[in-house]
Chains A and B, each alone.
Chain A
Amino acid sequence: MFQEFFYQLRDYGIPVRPTDFLRLQRALDGGLVQNLNDFYTVARTVMVKSERFFDIYDQVFAHFFEGKDIDLQTLDDLNAEMERLLAEWLADPENMPNLTDEEREALKNMDPDQVMEYFKERLKDQTERHDGGNRWIGTGGRSPVGHGGVHPNGMRVGGQGRNRSAIKVAMDRRFIDYNDNLMLTPEKIGEALARLRNLTPSGPRDQLDVDASIRETVKQGGEIELIFDKRLIDKLKVYIMIDNGGWSMTPYVHLTRSLFTYAKSQFKDVKFFYFHNCIYDVLYEDPMRYEKPVKTLDLMRKDPDTRVIILGDASMSPYELTHPRGAIDYGTPQSQPGIMWIRKVKETFNNTIWINPIPKHEWDYTYGAYTVELIRQQIPMFELSLRGLEEAVDELKAKYPKPLPPLERQAAR
């Protein structure tokens, strides 16, 4: 029973497991479920294992038990809507209504097939999440396409359900705050810190300290005393390289700085460096990027075990990355294209990651999509959200971090 519900949960990105589905059947057999309210609770407690998915669960539940046959209807809607949009776009690409400037920019650079794909994706996304599909611009949705992201005003089912209460509960969306792919804000800094804690070595005190044990035993006149110590693991060194060039980066610079300044005691060493848009021959220790230049090459002679975190929106003009003299600021010392410097950093410091304040689902459509992609090919990139940080920490800790791909000629054009 309810296989379809199970698969819908899966489709919407909740990692539900077959064993849990079987457990749900046991619960159903066992008479734990007498009505829809029971089903709502029992199915959730058995199958959904994190509160971050509760919100999506609520939405799928409301959708499923609203009794609407989504498949056929939306498909038809989709096609009809598609045609209309395309016609509209072809007629007047410059002034298509309901588009933000960003989207217009993005569309300009696509060929018709891509545009088609773009609309299709977008429509699918909207119609799946919203009821019917006649509201193809989500009222509050700011991402153009984006999978898996939950739109602030997502569900539009509403109306008369046969079993109102559970559905009503589901539609309240009580759990939206737990959805952790929301971007980082100053209030969440404590949580973010907690995730960084995983970067520090910890573990049981299970190594026998022989010298200390003998000393203590002798002190106590032969009464044996065993002293255990933590396994020796070195604290990490961290370099943080921050793009503090454009105004768009300002709030995140502050956020990241305070994050790592708080966390300083956990690391052996935390150092900040600044650059504008891309790393070149020189980085600066002062945020004004003037007084304390450091040669990037000098940094590379430091301990290769240092973890490097680069914070930047990775959005720039392509030539800033690929041209040997492409730096945006006139007079920036530069001997090689920026992309080569980025590769060098990753080559030297294996555990290098890039944190991007632009939400991940916008990376393909932001104005700097080209350079974002180019940099992502070299360095693992994560968004500045709680989940992004968590993944970033895993990559920073990784024994075998993602290797640098071989150089493509075309990249260094």
Chain B
Amino acid sequence: MSEHLKDELEFTGTDTYVLDDELAKVVNTAIKLELPLLLKGEPGTGKTLLAHAVAQNLGTDLLILNVKSSMKAVEALYQYDTLTRLNDSRFGDSSRNVSNIEDYIRMGKIGQSFTTDKKVVLLIDEIDKADSDFQDDLLDVLDIMQFDIQEIDKTVKAKNRPIVIITSNAKKDLSDPFLGRCVFHHIAFPDEEMMREIVKAHFPSVSQKLAEGAIEVFYRLRQVAGIEKKPATRELLHWIRALSTDPQFDVKHLKAKAPLPLLGLLFKKSDDLSRAQRVSLSGF
């Protein structure tokens, strides 16, 4: 391998995160090219979990910026706590120096990821929730890895370039310039074989029979026509956990022409639920 790409970090998966080769390659490409990785995919396919797994695997910290719809870009960088300063100036009973504005600057998640001494993983979760101004504002910051604190006229530079992972649930694409500065991956829905491994990784003690049966039923339920919100990996894992702890449950129940147990864990919309129940009654 050549020198000018850093290759001391290589992501290989963890115990509970089942990684396919493709995804591993993508993550490592992002790390080596030092570009943010934009992840898309159905909700519940493990986008957020991937960031946890990367941090765990590389033995570093994970900072999570949960994007909210009302968020402004500067909040993710730093906050100037005017209110505390005002209070301090009136009561004067704090250890902070009121005339020093820097005492009242608090770093946001991105700011923290720039100022820590370690190379960390920064997860910007569900960036599509905020408006496009937010996305465009973050762009420059992540590109040049520095930002200005206007109030004290100071520039914060990243000590270590964090590994940036961005997730988006939106079907809509992000803005063009934004996409131009990321690498992109879409986490496809896992096939049955992959799913078996995922289930095994999460529940090593669950009986083979239960897992197999549940997965089979799960994939059939996903194919029921007219379902608006298809259950994803997350729902399946919850379902299996519930089934395995339910003392009344027997694997045979999955095969019988009877209502499937605990379907509410898979289907979160009442229309979908009743449809799934109807279908399961007729034995598909």
Question: CA–CA, A63 to B86, complex, Å?
Answer: 67
Q: Is B200 an interface residue (CB 8 A)?
A: no
Are the C-beta atoms of B26 and A41 separated by less than 8 Å? Answer: yes
Chain A nearest CB from B138 CB (Å) reads 14
Chain A nearest CB from B31 CB (Å) reads 10
Q: Is A285 an interface residue (CB 8 A)?
A: no
Are the C-beta atoms of B2 and A37 separated by less than 8 Å? Answer: no
Are the C-beta atoms of B180 and A26 separated by less than 8 Å? Answer: no
Are the C-beta atoms of A30 and B1 separated by less than 8 Å? Answer: yes
Q: Mark B72-108, 1 if CB is under 8 A from A, else 0.
A: 1000000000010011000000000000000000000
Are the C-beta atoms of B171 and A195 separated by less than 8 Å? Answer: yes
Q: Is A331 an interface residue (CB 8 A)?
A: no
Chain A, 129-185, CB within 8 A of any chain B CB: 174-175, 178, 180
Q: Is B21 an interface residue (CB 8 A)?
A: yes
With A41-B22, A46-B183, A48-B184 known as contacts, the answer to whether A23 contacts B70 (CB < 8 A) is no
Measured between beta carbons, the chain B residues less than 8 angstroms from A31 are: 1-2, 5, 7
Measured between beta carbons, the chain B residues less than 8 angstroms from A204 are: 70-72, 131
Measured between beta carbons, the chain A residues less than 8 angstroms from B7 are: 30-31
Identity of the chain A residue whose Cβ is nearest the Cβ of B128 in the assembled complex: A194
Are the C-beta atoms of B4 and A49 separated by less than 8 Å? Answer: no
Chain B nearest CB from A263 CB (Å) reads 15
User: Which among A190, A206, A224, A390 is the interface contact of B83 at CB below 8 angstroms?
Assistant: A224
Question: CA–CA, A318 to B107, complex, Å?
Answer: 66
- Among the 9-residue stretches B32-40, B44-52, B207-215, the one with 4 or more Cβ atoms under 8 Å from chain A is B32-40
Q: Is A68 an interface residue (CB 8 A)?
A: no
Chain B, 13-31, CB within 8 A of any chain A CB: 21-22, 25-26, 28-30
Are the C-beta atoms of B180 and A19 separated by less than 8 Å? Answer: yes
Are the C-beta atoms of B25 and A41 separated by less than 8 Å? Answer: yes
Are the C-beta atoms of A49 and B32 separated by less than 8 Å? Answer: no
Number of interface residues of A (CB under 8 A): 45
Q: Is B156 an interface residue (CB 8 A)?
A: no
Question: CA–CA, A123 to B5, complex, Å?
Answer: 46
Are the C-beta atoms of A23 and B83 separated by less than 8 Å? Answer: no
Are the C-beta atoms of B183 and A45 separated by less than 8 Å? Answer: yes
Q: Is B268 an interface residue (CB 8 A)?
A: no
User: Which among A19, A205, A386 is the interface contact of B171 at CB below 8 angstroms?
Assistant: A386
Are the C-beta atoms of B5 and A30 separated by less than 8 Å? Answer: yes
User: Which among A51, A54, A203 is the interface contact of B131 at CB below 8 angstroms?
Assistant: A203
Are the C-beta atoms of A26 and B171 separated by less than 8 Å? Answer: no
Are the C-beta atoms of A51 and B183 separated by less than 8 Å? Answer: no
Q: Is B170 an interface residue (CB 8 A)?
A: yes
Q: Is B172 an interface residue (CB 8 A)?
A: yes
Chain A nearest CB from B175 CB (Å) reads 11
Measured between beta carbons, the chain B residues less than 8 angstroms from A49 are: 38, 173, 179-180, 182, 184
Are the C-beta atoms of B86 and A178 separated by less than 8 Å? Answer: no
Measured between beta carbons, the chain A residues less than 8 angstroms from B38 are: 49
Most B-side CB within 10 Å, residue of A29, A32, A205 = A32
Identity of the chain B residue whose Cβ is nearest the Cβ of A222 in the assembled complex: B90
Are the C-beta atoms of B4 and A30 separated by less than 8 Å? Answer: yes
Question: CA–CA, A186 to B227, complex, Å?
Answer: 10
With A45-B185, A202-B69 known as contacts, the answer to whether A27 contacts B226 (CB < 8 A) is no
Q: Mark A179-212, 1 if CB is under 8 A from B, else 0.
A: 0100000110111001100100011111000000
Identity of the chain B residue whose Cβ is nearest the Cβ of A224 in the assembled complex: B86
Question: CA–CA, A38 to B24, complex, Å?
Answer: 10
With A30-B5, A195-B172 known as contacts, the answer to whether A42 contacts B29 (CB < 8 A) is yes
With A30-B5, A49-B173 known as contacts, the answer to whether A187 contacts B86 (CB < 8 A) is no
Question: CA–CA, A26 to B32, complex, Å?
Answer: 10
Chain A nearest CB from B245 CB (Å) reads 32
Q: Is B229 an interface residue (CB 8 A)?
A: yes
Q: Is B228 an interface residue (CB 8 A)?
A: yes
Q: Is A295 an interface residue (CB 8 A)?
A: no
With A42-B29, A204-B71 known as contacts, the answer to whether A54 contacts B228 (CB < 8 A) is no
Measured between beta carbons, the chain A residues less than 8 angstroms from B226 are: 186-187
Q: Is B255 an interface residue (CB 8 A)?
A: no
Question: CA–CA, A103 to B136, complex, Å?
Answer: 47
With A37-B21, A41-B26, A49-B173 known as contacts, the answer to whether A30 contacts B32 (CB < 8 A) is yes
Q: Is B238 an interface residue (CB 8 A)?
A: no
Q: Mark B237-275, 1 if CB is under 8 A from A, else 0.
A: 000000000000000000000000000000000000000
Are the C-beta atoms of A194 and B21 separated by less than 8 Å? Answer: no
Identity of the chain B residue whose Cβ is nearest the Cβ of A390 in the assembled complex: B172
Q: Is B186 an interface residue (CB 8 A)?
A: yes
Identity of the chain A residue whose Cβ is nearest the Cβ of B228 in the assembled complex: A190
Chain A, 16-65, CB within 8 A of any chain B CB: 17, 19-20, 23, 26-27, 29-32, 37-38, 41-42, 45-46, 48-52, 54
With A30-B2, A46-B183 known as contacts, the answer to whether A51 contacts B40 (CB < 8 A) is yes
Q: Is B188 an interface residue (CB 8 A)?
A: yes
Measured between beta carbons, the chain A residues less than 8 angstroms from B179 are: 49-50
Question: CA–CA, A69 to B83, complex, Å?
Answer: 69
Are the C-beta atoms of A26 and B5 separated by less than 8 Å? Answer: yes
Q: Is A115 an interface residue (CB 8 A)?
A: no
Measured between beta carbons, the chain B residues less than 8 angstroms from A178 are: 186
Q: Is A226 an interface residue (CB 8 A)?
A: yes
Most B-side CB within 10 Å, residue of A38, A45, A203, A205 = A45
Measured between beta carbons, the chain B residues less than 8 angstroms from A23 are: 33, 35, 183
Are the C-beta atoms of A32 and B186 separated by less than 8 Å? Answer: no
Chain B nearest CB from A390 CB (Å) reads 7
Identity of the chain B residue whose Cβ is nearest the Cβ of A223 in the assembled complex: B87
Chain A nearest CB from B203 CB (Å) reads 27
Are the C-beta atoms of B70 and A205 separated by less than 8 Å? Answer: yes
| 7 cross-chain CB contacts under 8 A | A30-B5, A30-B33, A41-B21, A45-B183, A49-B173, A191-B171, A204-B70
Listed from nearest, the 9 A-B pairs whose CB atoms lie closest are: A30-B5, A31-B1, A51-B186, A49-B179, A41-B25, A45-B26, A49-B184, A45-B183, A204-B70
